[in-house]
Structure 1
Amino acid sequence: MGLVRDRWRLPFRRSGFHSSSSSSSLLQPPSPHTPSSVSNPPDLPPEFLCPISGALMADPVIIPSGETFERACIEACRDLSVSPPSLSADLSSSLLLIPNSALRSAIIRWCDVAGVPHPLTVSSEVASHLARLLLPASPNSKSQTQLPNEISSPTASSSSSEQSTSSSSSSETIPAAKPQIPESPIHADPLEEKIMAKLKHAKIQELESALISLLETTRESASCRVALGSPRLLAVLKDLLHSRHTAVKSTVLAVIVNLSLEPENKVRVVRSGVVPAIVDALRPSSPSTATEHAAGALFSLALEEQNRTVIGVLGAVPPLLRIFCTAELGFRVRLEAGMALHYLCLSEINVTKVARIPGAVKGLITVSRADARALSRMAMRLMVGMVESKEGKAAMLDGGAVEAAVAMLRNEEQEEDEEEMVVRILYGMSFGGLRFRGIARRAGAEEALEIAAGRSEGEKREMSTMTLRAIRGDAEMEADVARILWAEAVETEEERSGASEKLAASCRIKQESGSGSGPNSAGF
């Protein structure tokens, strides 16, 4: 997979992140006569529906397998020791639930555009009823526990029938080389049926041949990849990832890489639960081909914003960083790992994970000096992302990033965009206060930044100048900050008290800017 040249840019002027939460009472889901509960709009993304309730999720959460459910529904399943049909293992009593904020925002945006009311949270009583529907039917009972009239729906009924089918076949032993083939859906794609028929072979040679044929098919066109990105086929691939045969596992990973190239498949692949097996293929003992395909798959999946937190939670960050910083490994696998890390670290929770790995910053600094230009640039990108996080910034200061950035800034062979990345790294760390000021002065950052400011313009020049001021802590900078703060106060006061207050405030500004020690003056 080639390097995707995205346009990265960190905001120069930062503003605080404000989050607002609105508490709402637990409400019953809409009645079966409501259009949103029975006949969803045709363009409704299936990823917005809870696999248990079949309705739009109001509070989606991610579980360790990578799948997303409505919080109340998965909690009810956990309390009743019931596993949803999509899970292959029982739920743990200490189940970790991570809010899927990106998916929730996407659902709300879709509702606003489509003119559909926002989904309501599911009450604990309704969630318990839905979870009981997943219990296997008793031999002496003619039917399962029924939902109340106000929450029964065709979606729930179909989920119940699917569960009884899956529970009856879950006890079968799956051969190591032969996957469990789910039953054919009513409207199965002909191409998918053809592939499924080939994958039914028990002999390893025939299975390998079928997988190679599938790999070739996924290379043909985008339409083929979309058609084959079905939950049914992904479930088979998930089983095959646990094969003891190296060739089978490597080919399956290559197939997943191809399937994940299509935006429609990226969330589907993660929700299928294959990510833990992909991460497992990053182990040092794994064959190099499988490791390269696994890193490429994670890179492709991390391009989707909704997947980044899930992939990080499932443990992909440490092995990817190890691969990227290991000089003995091949260029291609290291680059794939670096690109995967870059996109995962667009989620702040993953930046924190990198910052907490011992030796992470020193490893990135070492790669930034590598002969391979692509790896060096990728390491710089990762360090640019690190300084945007509080923990990342602290780790950078601890790991010697200031001294390394100054040395890179003095390198006359750097290209213009590389020098801009180094300036951004120093500018981000300049918010480290007195500690940064002392380290930067000892490293000789002032001279290097003066040279960079003199041969640049625009935002790069401004960042160099502001970083210089942070290092020097000069009175001119403090006066500028004081003027800005007082000007904001004057505008507010003028709205309330009129022009006379403005005149008085102006006098105060002149006095404070002249001394450089006003009550609102601030330094870096």
Structure 2
Amino acid sequence: METLKQENIIESPRTEVFTPDSPQDTDADNAASSSPSLILRLVALVNEIPSNTEHRKIFRAECGNLIRRIRLLAPLFEEMKEFKGKLPDQAFLSLAAFEKALRDACELLHSCFSESKIFLVVERERVLDRFLSVTAELEHALENVPLNVLEISDEVHEQVDLVHAQLKRAKGRVDMQDQHLYNDIDGILFQENGKGVNSAALINLAERLSLRTLPEINRERIALDCIIASNGGIRNSRIDQMIQVLALFKELAQSNSVSVYIENENVKTENTEAPSIPDDFRCPISLELMRDPVIVATGQTYERACIQKWLDAGNKTCPKTQQVLTHLLLTPNFVLKSLIAQWCETNGIELPKQRSSSERDIIEVLLQKLSLGQPDVQRDAAGELRMLAKKNTENRICIAEAGAIPHLVGLLSSEDLGTQEHAVTALLNLSIYDGNKGAIIASKAIPSIIEVLKNGSMEARENAAATLFSLSVIDQNKVAIGASGAIPALVKLLCNGTLRGKKDAATALFNLCIYQGNKPRAVRANVIPPLMEILQEPSSEMVDESLAILSILATHPEGRTAISQASAIPLLIDLIQTGSPRNKENAAAVLLALCTNGPLHLMRLKSLGAYGPLCELERTGTPRARRKAALLLESIRMEDFDGPKLNERRY
């Protein structure tokens, strides 16, 4: 590779990231008129950041860290949208610099997601330098954002400080997780026309790069062609060698069996007596070990190919029982299939591979069942989809792409509680994949999920609450869910649900209340009394959740008023002394919010003997707890010196 390193590095094409109303300059004279537009552009840029890197094979750690840090800033820009005053010139210029940093981050991520994988690995040092540069740019820009001027809440301020600290630590180091990929490609590039290439290594490399199938390889070739085009159509030896590697992958993919590429592989078989196959594992038609067991309408299980052949011949009865089949749909028997697989593994038997069945075929059959209109069939199909969606990400993607989400949303209104429960849980499992969240929202699922939350079985209500939490991870969904009336129903579950239900409700409420507009909705739904009841129970398993919600509600005026009316201060002081480190931290945060905005609370805090516990917390608490305790102690001392001053400062 020494000769290759001496050649000019081909610069990757830069892709424009769409943002509305992009300014051509950031003249401070235009700050007043451009401020709302600038803030909206920042929100749009953050929303363009992909939500996960689950399918990334290259620079996964770097992309994941950058995405996570930027998305943690989403609440900052949501609160900035509520800023009504005139943005000072310096603040405008700082935000404009931050916009440029976000654009550079978007372009880098787009490159990592769309460029040639082979090119990215070979040019890894250049790409890593871009990650370092973008990280440093974001860190510098974030340092200059005037959070106090923008009236950002304490909770979001702390989150921004956390992100800033992470960026500061990260800007001087890089991860080298793709070094082995580079070394393997390096070795293959040295081989002339693919001669002498270790075939097993080639197979392994194709797997790790996700270049195993012809569609994947075709997309890779298009990406390489884009790089050539960006270089004026010129192909140098570096690109030629990359294309040669891709040709080897294509040859591999076109082969009927990867085994032909493994050199000098001697396969040895041992002549051992085959174990007896359990009768339950044999197909009643062929008497052979089943590889794809399916259930017919009578409840009997057969090998899919055998029973399908029987049905294709015009038969309408169950071969074993001779009963007339009420329908001809075949339901996969996943439990039996799993047992057969375990038995085969225990006995050293290779389970025959399925020839024509796939998860997509199974999903298509289940969708047909959902559309039949027979309640028992729909319930079973929704249950199967629920289990498939729980299994893995690939299934979640496949189920959504097959069009199952609107069917499942329709079943949320079913009068059958079991069907309702399966449907809402299936949607919960599908929503784990971020790419499905938008499709669920677009299917107008929120009102139906809320209806299940109000009137479904207890398990359905619990899973409805969990679904709302999962969907609200996307910031814009917090607004829609809160405006749809979910919060009163969640408060009701918090009051009378099972422990699991209460936890699901509390988690959803906390996430929704990150959005400022949902805080008064929660207060007006009377969330404070049940939270206080939980704190008063010594054996409660939900103190952490309750204090976390109180700490975020305390950043809103209505929340502080309601907490004050609940006479929370004595209980909070007690928790500072006896609670867990996280409990103490949140209790101090609530007290600080109350006392910052109400001098009488500060006097009551002092009269109840909080000075000693706060001193201990300042000495032994978590970093956040120590900061809160220090501010409270400073305010108590100032009050002793010349009267209440806490409300004159912003923390």
The normalised TM-score by structure 2 is 0.44
Aligned amino acid, residue 267 of structure 1: G
In structure 2, the residue matched to 1:430 is: 595
The CA distance in 1 between the partners of 2:518 and 2:545, in whole Å, is 16
Matched, 1:244 2:244: no
Mapped contact 1:229–1:269 kept (Cα < 8 A): no
Q: Give the alignment partner of residue 293 of structure 1, picking from 450, 463, 473.
A: 463
In structure 1, the residue matched to 2:405 is: 234
The CA distance in 2 between the partners of 1:420 and 1:365, in whole Å, is 17
Aligned amino acid, residue 417 of structure 2: T
Per-residue CA shift, 1:182-206, capped at 9, x if unaligned?
xxxxxxx655533322222232222
Q: Give the alignment partner of residue 331 of structure 1, picking from 495, 499, 502.
A: 499
The CA distance in 1 between the partners of 2:627 and 2:486, in whole Å, is 37
Mapped contact 1:361–1:401 kept (Cα < 8 A): no
Per-residue CA shift, 1:466-503, capped at 9, x if unaligned?
1123234347799999xxxxxxxxxxxxxxxxxxxxxx
Secondary structure, counterpart of 1:348 in structure 2:
coil
Q: How does 1:82-231 map to 2 (within 5 A)?
A: 113=106, 190=361, 192-230=363-401
In structure 2, the residue matched to 1:319 is: 489
1:465 offset after TM fit, Å? 2.3
The CA distance in 2 between the partners of 1:201 and 1:307, in whole Å, is 32
- Structure 1 pair 200/448, CA: closer, same or farther in 2 (3 Å)? same
Aligned amino acid, residue 589 of structure 2: R
- Structure 1 pair 523/245, CA: closer, same or farther in 2 (3 Å)? closer
1:219 offset after TM fit, Å? 2.1
Q: How does 1:367-406 map to 2 (within 5 A)?
A: 367-371=534-538, 374-406=541-573
Aligned amino acid, residue 308 of structure 1: K
1:245 offset after TM fit, Å? 1.1
The CA distance in 1 between the partners of 2:484 and 2:364, in whole Å, is 31
Mapped contact 1:218–1:258 kept (Cα < 8 A): yes
1:522 offset after TM fit, Å? 6.5
Secondary structure, counterpart of 1:21 in structure 2:
helix
C-alpha RMSD of the superposition: 4.0
- Structure 1 pair 462/44, CA: closer, same or farther in 2 (3 Å)? closer
Aligned amino acid, residue 238 of structure 1: V
The CA distance in 2 between the partners of 1:110 and 1:199, in whole Å, is 44
Per-residue CA shift, 1:441-477, capped at 9, x if unaligned?
3433233323323444744333212112323434779
- Structure 1 pair 426/480, CA: closer, same or farther in 2 (3 Å)? closer
Aligned amino acid, residue 433 of structure 1: G
- Structure 1 pair 371/262, CA: closer, same or farther in 2 (3 Å)? farther
Matched, 1:450 2:465: no
In structure 2, the residue matched to 1:265 is: 436
1:109 offset after TM fit, Å? 6.5
The normalised TM-score by structure 1 is 0.54
In structure 1, the residue matched to 2:512 is: 344
The CA distance in 2 between the partners of 1:268 and 1:353, in whole Å, is 26
Segments of 5+ residues of structure 1 without an aligned counterpart are 1-17, 24-42, 46-97, 117-188, 482-520
Mapped contact 1:234–1:272 kept (Cα < 8 A): yes
Aligned amino acid, residue 404 of structure 1: L
The CA distance in 2 between the partners of 1:275 and 1:522, in whole Å, is 41
- Structure 1 pair 319/362, CA: closer, same or farther in 2 (3 Å)? same
In structure 2, the residue matched to 1:304 is: 474
The CA distance in 2 between the partners of 1:422 and 1:44, in whole Å, is 34
- Structure 1 pair 194/367, CA: closer, same or farther in 2 (3 Å)? same
Number of aligned positions between the proteins: 319
1:347 offset after TM fit, Å? 0.9
Aligned amino acid, residue 398 of structure 1: Q
Mapped contact 2:534–2:540 kept (Cα < 8 A): no
Per-residue CA shift, 1:351-401, capped at 9, x if unaligned?
12112234x323212112335554111001101111222322232222222
Aligned amino acid, residue 572 of structure 2: A
The CA distance in 2 between the partners of 1:220 and 1:100, in whole Å, is 40
- Structure 1 pair 303/22, CA: closer, same or farther in 2 (3 Å)? closer
- Structure 1 pair 394/319, CA: closer, same or farther in 2 (3 Å)? same
1:114 offset after TM fit, Å? 5.3
- Structure 1 pair 389/210, CA: closer, same or farther in 2 (3 Å)? same
Aligned amino acid, residue 262 of structure 1: Y
Max Rg structure: 2
- Structure 1 pair 99/389, CA: closer, same or farther in 2 (3 Å)? closer
1:306 offset after TM fit, Å? 2.4
Mapped contact 1:364–1:379 kept (Cα < 8 A): yes
In structure 1, the residue matched to 2:183 is: none
The CA distance in 1 between the partners of 2:556 and 2:484, in whole Å, is 21
Secondary structure, counterpart of 1:229 in structure 2:
helix
Aligned amino acid, residue 441 of structure 1: K
- Report the structure, 1 or 2, having the larger helix content: 2
Matched, 1:465 2:630: yes
1:403 offset after TM fit, Å? 2.4
In structure 1, the residue matched to 2:259 is: none
1:294 offset after TM fit, Å? 0.9
The CA distance in 2 between the partners of 1:460 and 1:260, in whole Å, is 34
The CA distance in 2 between the partners of 1:237 and 1:258, in whole Å, is 12
Aligned amino acid, residue 591 of structure 2: L
The CA distance in 2 between the partners of 1:477 and 1:523, in whole Å, is 18
Per-residue CA shift, 1:24-53, capped at 9, x if unaligned?
xxxxxxxxxxxxxxxxxxx999xxxxxxxx
Matched, 1:407 2:578: no
- Structure 1 pair 111/246, CA: closer, same or farther in 2 (3 Å)? farther
Per-residue CA shift, 1:42-100, capped at 9, x if unaligned?
x999xxxxxxxxxxxxxxxxxxxxxxxxxxxxxxxxxxxxxxxxxxxxxxxxxxxx999
- Structure 1 pair 263/370, CA: closer, same or farther in 2 (3 Å)? farther
The CA distance in 1 between the partners of 2:584 and 2:539, in whole Å, is 17
The CA distance in 1 between the partners of 2:649 and 2:383, in whole Å, is 64
Secondary structure, counterpart of 2:514 in structure 1:
coil
Identity %: 20
In structure 2, the residue matched to 1:20 is: 35
In structure 2, the residue matched to 1:496 is: none
